Amino acid sequence: MKDKFQKIFKGGLGQLTIPIVAILFLVGFNLIRDPSFFSIETTLNNNGNMVLAGNLISIINGASELAVLAMGMTLVTAACGGQDISVGAAAAIAGSAFVKILKSSPNITGFTVVAAFLFACVVAMLFGAFNGTLVSVFKIQPMIATLILYTCGRSIAYWINGGATPTVSSPIINAIGSFIPGVPIPTPVLIVAAVAIIFVLVFHFTSLGLFTQSVGINGSAARLNGINSTFIKLLSFIILGLCVAVAGTIGVSRLGLINHETLLLDIEMDAILAVAIGGNSLGGGKFKISGSIIGAYVIQMLTITLYAMKVPSTDVKAYKAIVIILLVVIGSPVIKSKFQKYIAKIKSNRQRVSMKGAE
Amino acid sequence: MQDTTLLQMRHINKVFPGVKALSDVDFTLRKGEIHALMGENGAGKSTLIKILTGVYGMDGGEIIVEGMNVSIHSPQDAQNKGISTVYQEITLCPNLTVAENMFIGREESTLVRHKFYEKRADEILEKLGIPARAAQQLGSCSLAVQQMVAIARAVDMECKVLILDEPTSSLDDKEVNMLFNLMRDLKKQGVGIIFVTHFLEQVYEVCDRITVLRNGELVGEYLIEDLPQVDLVAKMIGKELDELSDFGQIEEKQYDSKDIFYEAESLSSSDAMPFDFCIHKGEVNGFTGLLGSGRSESVRAIFGADKVTGGTVKIKGEDVKITKPVDAMKHGIGYLAEDRKRDGIIAELSVRENIILALQVMKGFFKPISRSEAEAFADEYIKVLNIKTASRETPVGSLSGGNQQKVILARWLLTHPDYLILDEPTRGIDVGTKLEIQKLVLKLAEDGVSVTFISSEVEEMLRTCSRLIVMRDRHVVGELKGQDLNQAQVMKTIAGGETQNEG
């Protein structure tokens, strides 16, 4: 037991150190500030279900779309060494596509919802493939390539539903956006868990992880080892497309309507930030999806903490920026190597003392 | 005696997590001497150099420069104390002029006085006999001249100790001679030069003294005339002296035409001119020629590494199409690329992941090698090839050059290739590992693997290959085997058939 702990302490955490420390710091800060921040209670919601409520629940629930996007963004970052800034706009397209199918049938059944979701997936994957082709085949820098969809995405979303912001009211949609009757945990949280499990399975049953990292670290060597790096990059964008469809569906279901102007607005920057807080290099290469997921919850917890402190919503972004500067600086290579040197010094001192003791 | 001592490092100790990199190493450099620092990869040469230049701190010991006890905190600090380093890779800016490169970062005023600097630079260049003009763009000079400019920059900063870390590995013979003349000039001016290299002949050409390190320990300091080359090698590897001469003459084998494993007819790629080539089962052959003669480009065409533009290829007598690396791999061909850093290692991934990479690609995307299987493979090859690594999870980028090369070899051996192409597998790695790789090649051939071996060191190829294909100006100009396989004949063929003076 002790050995295991030591092993983890010695560097098993590695990349996850920063996001975990950030979470612990926020938890500690809130514990001192107001322990009731963490209270979880069960309440009756509008539909008469017993459900869990509290700040913690709203953090985990609220970060769902971000967490899903951060997972896909991690993969794109690792393979291409750049980020997709069009995920917010693409989610609006996916959401509009989702609503389009729902609206086309007179009453919303389970079947229509599934069909609508699949349609949204296909649409989002096509747009992902568009981005991916620009990046992998035409070798355009990811940020420039995705700037195109970032710029025009919400207009496309607007066209899909003829400029309206249609509402969808259905118990099924409501169940996706909030709670399934009889289940006290918010559905988006369950969806994030499902997506995470799918990622784990994909990494287990394919070589996606190894190939993506190889392409991201040394594309030339990867190619000479027979890896089709164009395909791997394209694939990462298509997988991100799936994540976009899931995020868009959650977003639409939460509100029960599609507003192409505001759905998941500015989420691309938070998604990139989550990847960075997760300790992943934005230059590509080695990655840990778990880091990005924790990163997403760090961002959301920060937001909710600020709201709980009654910080006016207009000021929240400024305070958020301060904390993020701290996180990014602490995670920077300069500070890291300083810290490692310090640890090494302590260790060698200790060694010297024990050597002397042995003499 | 005491007066001439320029630099002393005494009882230097350095511990890295898990490894004792240097233990109790002494090193003495005198004024006006060229001192070779020799040792295998991982012997502690670079660690010692890095301590001297302030890149690493030391865990024990002292550094004395001209009788003064000093501590060196950073490369900048080392430079201020008169210790300059010129690295293997040029660390100057090719898009600036020679003069700008010589004075960048050390202008006294914020205004750059171009005319003044160019005049001073020209003076220095002339004094040192470097064939470059101050106003010339550095990128337009040859690599050797660039290296010499780097040295000129160091010399002008009043350096007393000049460290040359593998300065000759990318230079041709003529350029090496230019560099050596410069080194001798500096020596006359009283500069102490520490020379790190893998080329033994070069050591004997310019150096006065040799310090040998092995496994982080000092083996000894010798005058050059007291230590013949064979003894030096023995001191460096500390064993297997007999095995050096173990390679007998390669006997000429008779091959049947039905034993041909790979055959290409007028194969060409975007980078290689059409050529014919074949290799038999269990044969070791080689491509030789000067840098840029097209030898690497040719083998890359065989592997499909560049865009293949024409020709027919037969494997075991059957027509096949190889247009990209994965095709070649599926037909049992492995290719160890010339540039290890650029085309070989995935630096940040672990030794384990690097070893299984090619096999994984061949198995396919949907059949990942399980963790336990991968660990078993990695452990096996770490043992078989004697790869020195802290663990199988160590990032391969942190290994020494020779061990990185072994990891890539392991990667290809794991695919159990029928035909292995090794492009400069021994470049920039130590003598011990070179021998291990040569032996491995011969053993593979015994087991029926065909090997194409490329090396800049003709001697090495003569030891391993039974047939040499000679290239010049991107064309095959000859094929040598049997009696013709000797240094003189190879040189003659490379040079174009005319009698060479040294022939």
Contact A225 B361 (CB under 8 A): yes
Calpha distance B476→B276 (Å, rounded) = 8
**Is residue A10 pLDDT above 60, yes or no?**
no
Q: Would you say A148 and A123 are in contact if contact means Cβ atoms under 8 Å apart? A: no
CB contact under 8 A, B343 and A204: no
Give the model confidence (pLDDT) of A79-101 as tens digits: 999 999 999 999 999 999 999 99
Q: How far is A240 from chain B (nearest CA, A)?
A: 19
Residue B179 has a pLDDT of 85
* A208–B365 CB contact, under 8 Å: yes
Q: State percent of chain A over pLDDT 90.
A: 66
Most A CBs within 10 A among B322, B357, B377, B422, hence the mutation to make, goes to B357
Matching residue, tokens 């997936």: A121
- Is B305 close to A208, i.e. CB distance below 8 A? no
The residue of chain A with its CA nearest to that of B56 is A341
| The Cα angle at residue A134 between residues A128 and A139, in degrees rounded to 5 | 135
Assess whether pLDDT exceeds 90 at residue B483. no
- Is the per-residue pLDDT at A142 higher than 80? yes
- Residue A2 is predicted with a pLDDT of 47
Residue B251, pLDDT above cutoff 70: no
Helix, coil or strand: residue A248: helix
Q: Locate the chain A residue with the closest alpha carbon to B343.
A: A221
| Cβ-based contacts of B364 with chain A (< 8 Å) | 207
| More confident site: B450 or B244 | B450
Q: Is the pLDDT of residue B129 over 90?
A: no
Gap from A226 CA to chain B (nearest CA, Å) = 4
**Residue with more model confidence, B253 or B339:** B339
- pLDDT at position B243 over 70: no
Using 50, 70 and 90 to split pLDDT, how confident is the model at A8? very low
Residue with tokens 């096996």: B380
Mean pLDDT of B292-310: 90
Whether the per-residue pLDDT at B375 is higher than 70: the answer is yes
Chain B stretch 346-365, residues whose beta carbon is closer than 8 A to a beta carbon of chain A = 346-349, 353, 356-358, 360-362, 364-365
pLDDT confidence tier of residue B172, bands split at 50, 70 and 90? confident
Judged by CB atoms closer than 8 Å, whether chains meet at A210 and B360 is answered as: yes
CA–CA min distance A213, chain B (Å):
8
Residues of A in contact with B349 (CB under 8 A): 210, 213-214, 217, 286
Residue of A nearest to B395 (CA): A286
Which distant-in-sequence residues (6+ apart) come within 8 Å of B400 by Cβ?
Answer: B41, B42, B388
Closest CB from A206, A227, A347 relative to B361: A227
Q: What is the pLDDT of residues A190-222, one digit of tens each?
A: 999 999 999 999 999 999 999 999 999 999 999
Does residue A226 belong to the interface with chain B, where contact is any CB pair within 8 Å? yes
Q: How far apart are CA B192 and CA B98, in angstroms?
A: 25
Residues of chain A found within 8 Å of residue B356, distances taken between Cβ atoms: 210
Instruction: Express each pLDDT in B321-357 by its tens digit.
Output: 999 999 999 999 999 998 888 899 999 999 999 999 9
End-to-end CA distance of chain B: 44
Work out the number of other CB atoms within 10 angstroms of the CB of residue B30: 17
Measured between CA atoms, how close is B151 to chain A, in angstroms?
A: 30
Residue A22 has pLDDT above 60, yes or no: yes
Check residues A69 and A354 and name the one with the higher pLDDT.
Answer: A69
A241 Cα distance to chain centroid:
13
Which B-chain residues 406-435 have CB contacts (< 8 A) with chain A?
Answer: 411
Question: What was the pLDDT predicted at A271?
Answer: 96
Q: What is the pLDDT of residue A13?
A: 63
Mean pLDDT to the nearest integer, B485-502: 65
CA distance B427 to B472: 21
Q: Is the model's pLDDT at A164 over the cut of 70?
A: yes
- Residues B179-184: what's their mean pLDDT? 88
- The residue-averaged pLDDT of B214-227 equals 90
Partner-chain contact A228 B337, CB within 8 Å: no
Test mutation, A205, A225, A287, chain B, max B CBs within 10 A: A225
Averaged pLDDT, B240-249? 48
A225 touches chain B (CB under 8 A): yes
SS3 A169: coil
The tokens of B493 are what? 């063929």
CB-closest option in A207, A214, A224 to B337: A224
Which of A224, A231, A354 has the most B C-beta neighbours within 10 Å, making it the best mutation to test the interface with B? Answer: A224
Instruction: Provide the pLDDT confidence category of residue B488 given band limits of 50, 70 and 90.
Output: confident
Q: How far apart are CA A208 and CA A202, in angstroms?
A: 7
Write a three-state SS string for A96-154. Answer: HHHHHHHHHCCCCCHHHHHHHHHHHHHHHHHHHHHHHHHHHCCCCCHHHHHHHHHHHHH
Confidence check: pLDDT of A4 > 60: no
| Whole-number pLDDT of residue A157 | 94
The pair of structure tokens assigned to A139 is 């070798």
Q: Measured between alpha carbons, how far is residue A261 from residues A89, A141, A165, B451 in Å?
A: 9, 26, 9, 63
* Contact flag B342-A218 (C-beta cutoff 8 Å): yes
Cβ separation A210–B411 shorter than 8 A: no
Select from B335, B365, B367 the Cβ nearest to the Cβ of A224.
Answer: B335
Average pLDDT estimate for B413-421: 95
Locate the chain B residue with the closest alpha carbon to A349: B59
Q: Answer whether B335 touches A (CB < 8 Å).
A: yes
Tell me the residues of chain A between 316 and 345 that have a Cβ less than 8 Å away from chain B. 344
Burial bucket for residue A165 (CB in 10 Å: 0-12, 13-18, 19+):
middle
* A346 inside 8 A of chain B by CB: no
Percentage of chain A exceeding pLDDT 70: 95
What is the average pLDDT across A8-32?
79
- Reply yes or no on whether the pLDDT at B18 is more than 70: no
Is A222 touching B (CB cutoff 8 A)?
yes
Residues from chain A that touch B335, judged by Cβ atoms under 8 A, are: 224
pLDDT band, very low/low/confident/very high, at A357 (cuts 50, 70, 90): low
Tell me the average pLDDT of chain B: 85
CA atoms within 13 A on the CB side of B60: 14
Most confident listed range (A20-29, B99-108, B285-294): A20-29
Chain B closest-CA separation from residue A111 CA (Å) = 31
- In the prediction, which pLDDT does B240 show? 47
In this prediction, residue B291 carries a pLDDT of 65
Mean pLDDT, chain A, rounded, equals 90
| Region of residue A255 (phi > 0: left; psi between -120 and 50: alpha; otherwise: beta) | alpha
Residues in chain B: 503
Contacts of A81 in chain B (CB under 8 A): none
Report the residue from B324, B356, B366 with minimal CB separation from A206. Answer: B366
If you count residue pairs, one on A and one on B, with CB atoms under 8 Å apart, how many are there? 79
What is chain A's alpha carbon radius of gyration, rounded to the nearest angstrom? 22
- B residues 192-221 lying closer than 8 A (beta carbon) to A: none
pTM: 0.76
Judged by a CB distance cut-off of 8 A, whether residue A286 touches chain B is yes
Residue of B nearest to A347 (CA): B17
**Cβ of A223 and B325 within 8 Å?**
yes
- Residue A279 in contact with residue A150, Cβ under 8 Å? no
Position A139 scores a pLDDT of: 94
- pLDDT 10s digits, A112-130: 999 999 999 999 999 999 9
Q: What is the 3-state secondary structure (H, E, C) of B29-52?
A: EECCCEEEEECCCCCCHHHHHHHH
Residue B41: what pLDDT? 66
Residues of B in Cβ contact (< 8 Å) with A349:
none
For residue A345, give the chain B residue with the closest CA. B59
Does the distance separating the beta carbons of A217 and B346 come in below 8 Å? yes
Contacting residues of A for B411, CB less than 8 Å apart: 225
Tokens representing residue B108 in the block: 């006294």
Answer whether B348 sits within 8 Å of A210, measured CB to CB.
no
Task: Tell me whether A235 touches chain B (CB under 8 Å).
Answer: no
